[in-house]
Chain A
């Protein structure tokens, strides 16, 4: 199987985000970067599928030059190739991101003469959370795509894949023909940590760099702000087991016991 995994460089989430002085972006000077948890699961799943069925995993990103770090991280986990579409330091809107990814995938498929069997995305990025880039790429390429997926069952010989996802009332299973696309969620698997050998391989791996012209889409970020939050004065009900009566008083007050 040939699998393409699309990832995004995002700030590692920790405490409250600090904004730049003009409010146009996040102050990234003291941040480390990562790929989101959904995408980590996408990489892990792709590597597991190739371990089982053979083939190769390519990771693709659109972002600043530094996003090379995230490609090398994916390679350290077992991906084979990395492609960076360099788009400068500013955040790219979802239509433009999808355009750039689609072009890179088309180039890759034209070069090998065959489509990627499976194109994988995280369900949404942890920072911008547009929930649409994967769908746009899949539509442009004429592939089926299911989102929110927490289980993948591929039958390469039959050219078929099944996707399982949770719904508010239970679960549903979709079937699609290969080649297909999927947007996955954390919980799909437990991602591995990079091995020492993987790290060495990642350091030496060659990253393909592309710099296409990417037209801007219709959604433009003006500024970011921190929502007003009511910080209540915390009422300490007590310490240890002796706090139990005060806790049950609260439960009674809220009429939940």
Chain B
């Protein structure tokens, strides 16, 4: 027994799973333990090889594939209980998952059921014989917390954007090839209390806020729902998505789904165009992952203007239509 176990999401987040596996590999290497992966529920059709390849490519020797009729669709309680049983069965030193919405929910369920502590949104982790030292995101990223975790099994989720530690020399883990798949079937009482998915709908087509290369976002300075029309046009021309600040959703100008910020979506586009957004902390933590930020604001001292890479000082209602017109003018010229 022992080892380090990484919960992967072959359907939902290959990238975030890869980051969690990279963390797991270094931790396992440092401890001289084997790296294993765990996947819960059915794997999408034709993706049978993806799971062992994903895990094996990151140094895992084996993948626990956890199957049961109650796990055929997602249920937080069933998935969490299944992970808790797998942990009891395999007795790993640590369990790691990406800090996705689902990863976090399953880990919280498993930690609660196993009566273990859980550190979420970790940025760095270093094993220690007494207590593990870690740092984690607080306040949406405005602060970092250094903490100690003392537990029989260390459970943590790795923050999106955390940088995996450097591989530390010779390790006990294999470095290539595919991992061996080991089936595991948890046991459920017939009276097991759980919620279940009864309906699922896909988002209307369009560019998704969280994956868009360009996000054109509007706030108080846009002035109203109609003020977003030029922003939508600019988003269309740049292949981007439209976002907004909390002020815009609270005034009913945009649906909450469009909100960028601590209580909305966190975005990391190549370019974030902030139109009439002053940039309160709650908003800043949602857009600070952008590579470039262009702030359009009448106030040259607005927090977002001073934090942006580029700024235009002026009224959104004048600047954005002029930018749209300039794009059209250049397109006609060529």
Note all chain B residues with C-beta closer than 8 A to A65.
none
Tell me the bound Cα distance from A177 to B194 in angstroms: 8
Establish whether residues A218 and B117, one from each chain, have CB atoms under 8 Å apart when the complex forms.
yes
| B117, B144, B149, B318 — most chain A CB neighbours (10 Å) | B117
Q: Is A110 an interface residue (CB 8 A)?
A: no
A1-9, A46-54, A70-78, A135-143: which lies at the interface: A135-143
Establish whether residues A247 and B104, one from each chain, have CB atoms under 8 Å apart when the complex forms.
no
Q: Which of A171, A248, A256 contacts B240 (CB 8 A)?
A: A256
Tell me the bound Cα distance from A14 to B139 in angstroms: 11
- Given A236-B311, A254-B271, A218-B151 contact (CB < 8 Å): yes
Q: Is B292 an interface residue (CB 8 A)?
A: yes
A79-87, A121-129, A201-209: which lies at the interface: A121-129
Q: Is A158 an interface residue (CB 8 A)?
A: no
Interface contact tally, CB-CB below 8 A = 266
- Given A168-B210, A256-B238, A146-B76 contact (CB < 8 Å): yes
Establish whether residues A186 and B281, one from each chain, have CB atoms under 8 Å apart when the complex forms.
no
Establish whether residues B118 and A132, one from each chain, have CB atoms under 8 Å apart when the complex forms.
yes
Establish whether residues B263 and A221, one from each chain, have CB atoms under 8 Å apart when the complex forms.
no
| B131, B143, B264 — most chain A CB neighbours (10 Å) | B143
* Chain A contacts with B in 202-257, Cβ cutoff 8 A: 217-227, 229, 231-232, 234-248, 250-251, 254, 256-257
Note all chain A residues with C-beta closer than 8 A to B145.
128, 221-224
Tell me the bound Cα distance from A166 to B204 in angstroms: 12
Establish whether residues A136 and B195, one from each chain, have CB atoms under 8 Å apart when the complex forms.
no
- Given A95-B117, A225-B144, A226-B142, A240-B315 contact (CB < 8 Å): yes
Q: Is A159 an interface residue (CB 8 A)?
A: no
Measured CB to CB, the nearest residue on chain A to B106 is A135
Establish whether residues B117 and A219, one from each chain, have CB atoms under 8 Å apart when the complex forms.
yes
Note all chain A residues with C-beta closer than 8 A to B101.
147-148, 167-168
* Chain A contacts with B in 128-167, Cβ cutoff 8 A: 128-132, 135-136, 138-140, 142-148, 150, 162-163, 166-167
Note all chain B residues with C-beta closer than 8 A to A226.
142-144
Q: Is B313 an interface residue (CB 8 A)?
A: yes
Q: Is B50 an interface residue (CB 8 A)?
A: no
Note all chain B residues with C-beta closer than 8 A to A222.
145-148
Measured CB to CB, the nearest residue on chain B to A245 is B326
Q: Is A173 an interface residue (CB 8 A)?
A: yes
- Given A172-B200, A185-B263, A241-B322 contact (CB < 8 Å): yes
Q: Is A15 an interface residue (CB 8 A)?
A: yes
Note all chain B residues with C-beta closer than 8 A to A17.
139, 142-143
Q: Is A111 an interface residue (CB 8 A)?
A: no
Establish whether residues B137 and A129, one from each chain, have CB atoms under 8 Å apart when the complex forms.
yes
| 7 pairs of residues in contact across A and B, judged by CB atoms under 8 Å | A15-B281, A15-B303, A132-B108, A220-B147, A250-B271, A256-B238, A257-B237
Task: Please give the residue numbers on chain B whose beta carbons come within 8 Å of chain A beta carbons, in ascending order.
Answer: 12, 74-77, 80, 101, 104-105, 108-109, 111-113, 116-121, 131, 137-151, 193-203, 208, 210, 213-214, 237-240, 246, 249-250, 252, 256-257, 259, 262-264, 270-271, 280-282, 288, 292, 294-295, 300, 303, 305-315, 318-319, 321-323, 325-327, 330
Task: Please give the residue numbers on chain A whose beta carbons come within 8 Å of chain B beta carbons, in ascending order.
Answer: 13-17, 19, 36-38, 93-95, 98, 126-132, 135-136, 138-140, 142-148, 150, 162-163, 166-177, 180, 185-187, 190, 217-227, 229, 231-232, 234-248, 250-251, 254, 256-257
